[in-house]
């Protein structure tokens, strides 16, 4: 019942309100994306899937002439391929922003998940955090010990020394030890480097990762290593490349390995992305996963993304 009420309320807001508003120091924007693909794995029947389709509202309010703003974001994941609509909470927080950086409270993407840029097929069915398994599950899901941290406070520093930023977050729970994470990233127009750690409060174990991206003309190269076996059961390594053929067409490739105590897989995926316009992208991709213990897997995906 609650989900039905939320659906009706959100639909009413989307219909009644403009896509964006700015006035009297208050700004907000309604936004969303629909990402649907047709997927075929091995010899099984083809399926229609939604890949993190979502709608949301975000905005800010000036707090006098102090230069400080109150900020908020409320986002829900939806599935246009299912008749029984399933609404899942995503980032939902309130906070403040100023020369000191940002302070957020609620449910938000934690520092560890924020640096996923080596996965250039993010939100497709051949992505590293999913089918090909070259990124840990700390890049997905919600909870005290997952990529979207709940019951949490996060601090994001301002950009320092030409591109250095620090991000830290901690969760608060009454029935378990708190989980926390901290990371640093340095970003310029041509490159980005990062190091992140996450402490799982329940396991009392740490996960670490280090990675980077480098752009040379039309070619973007990336690599990342995760020492996450104590938390997720695997250590991971991933390398990626994307070549921009022209303004509308890009070829993407990634390869990696997950090394666990009882299993190991080596995987790669290839994807062609076509930008129709500012709102619409279409893509076609292939991924293969060579497992040491389980059966090997292959997947073909064809999809489209509409952003508003």
What residues contact residue 285 under an 8 Å CB cut-off, 6+ apart?
Answer: 121, 124, 125, 126, 252, 269, 270, 271, 272, 300, 301, 302
Q: Give yes or no for residue 56 having a pLDDT over 80.
A: yes
Q: How confident is the model at residue 146 (pLDDT cuts 50, 70, 90)?
A: confident
Q: What is the mean pLDDT of residues 277-303?
A: 94
Q: Give yes or no for residue 91 having a pLDDT over 60.
A: yes
Within a domain: residue 34?
yes
CB 210 within 8 A of CB 238: no
Within a domain: residue 8?
no
Q: How confident is the model at residue 299 (pLDDT cuts 50, 70, 90)?
A: very high
Distance from C-alpha of 300 to C-alpha of 272, rounded to nearest angstrom: 12
Within a domain: residue 11?
no
* 169, two tokens: 């977050």
Q: Give yes or no for residue 71 having a pLDDT over 90.
A: yes
Q: What is the mean pLDDT of residues 56-70?
A: 94
Looking at residue 18, its pLDDT comes to 57
Q: What is the mean pLDDT of residues 185-191?
A: 95
* 44-53 pLDDT tens trace: 889 999 999 9
Q: What average pLDDT is seen over the chain?
A: 90
Looking at residue 13, its pLDDT comes to 47
Within a domain: residue 7?
no
Within a domain: residue 4?
no
Q: Give yes or no for residue 180 having a pLDDT over 90.
A: yes
Instruction: Tell me which residue has tokens 């090997």.
Output: 296
Within a domain: residue 283?
yes
Which phi and psi (to 5°) does residue 53 adopt?
-70, 140
* 271, two tokens: 């994807």
Q: How confident is the model at residue 5 (pLDDT cuts 50, 70, 90)?
A: very low
What residues contact residue 256 under an 8 Å CB cut-off, 6+ apart?
Answer: 128, 132, 134, 135, 236, 237, 238, 239, 266, 267, 268
Could you tell me which residues are beta bridge partners of residue 256?
A: 238, 267
Q: Is 283 helix (H, G, I), strand (E, B) or coil?
A: strand
Looking at residue 8, its pLDDT comes to 43
Within a domain: residue 171?
yes
Domain count, the chain: 1
Q: Give yes or no for residue 78 having a pLDDT over 60.
A: yes
Domain around 35: 19-307
Looking at residue 19, its pLDDT comes to 65
Distance from C-alpha of 67 to C-alpha of 69, rounded to nearest angstrom: 7
* 219, two tokens: 């070619």
Looking at residue 4, its pLDDT comes to 47
Looking at residue 212, its pLDDT comes to 98
Within a domain: residue 101?
yes
CATH of the domain at 199: 2.40.160.10
The whole model's pTM is what? 0.88
């Amino acid at each position: 019942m609650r989900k039905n009420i939320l659906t009706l309320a959100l639909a009413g807001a989307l219909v009644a309100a403009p896509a964006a508003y700015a006035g009297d120091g208050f700004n907000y924007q309604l936004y969303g994306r629909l990402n649907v693909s047709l997927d075929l794995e091995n010899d099984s029947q083809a399926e229609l899937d939604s890949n993190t389709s979502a709608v949301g509202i975000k905005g800010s309010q000036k707090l006098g002439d102090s230069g400080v703003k109150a900020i908020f974001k409320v986002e829900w994941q939806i599935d246009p391929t299912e008749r029984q609509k399933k609404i899942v909470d995503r980032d939902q927080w309130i906070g403040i922003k100023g020369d000191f950086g940002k302070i957020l409270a609620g449910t938000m993407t934690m520092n560890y998940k924020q640096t996923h840029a080596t996965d250039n097929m993010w939100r497709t069915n051949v992505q590293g955090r999913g089918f090909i398994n070259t990124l840990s599950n700390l890049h997905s899901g919600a909870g005290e010990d997952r990529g979207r941290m709940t019951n949490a406070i996060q601090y994001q520093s301002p950009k320092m020394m030409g591109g250095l930023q620090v991000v830290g977050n901690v969760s608060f729970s009454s029935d378990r030890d708190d989980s926390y994470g901290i990371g640093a990233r340095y970003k310029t127009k041509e490159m980005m480097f990062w190091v992140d750690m996450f402490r799982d409060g329940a396991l009392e174990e740490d996960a670490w990762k280090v990675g980077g991206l480098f752009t040379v003309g039309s070619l973007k190269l990336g690599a990342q290593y995760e020492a996450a076996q104590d938390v997720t059961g695997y250590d991971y390594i991933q390398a990626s490349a994307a070549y921009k053929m022209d303004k509308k067409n890009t070829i993407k490739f990634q390869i990696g390995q997950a090394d666990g105590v009882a299993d190991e897989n080596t995987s790669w995926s290839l994807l062609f992305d076509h930008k129709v316009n500012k709102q619409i992208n279409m893509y076609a991709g292939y991924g293969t996963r060579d497992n040491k213990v389980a059966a090997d897997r292959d997947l073909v995906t064809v999809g489209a993304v509409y952003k508003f």
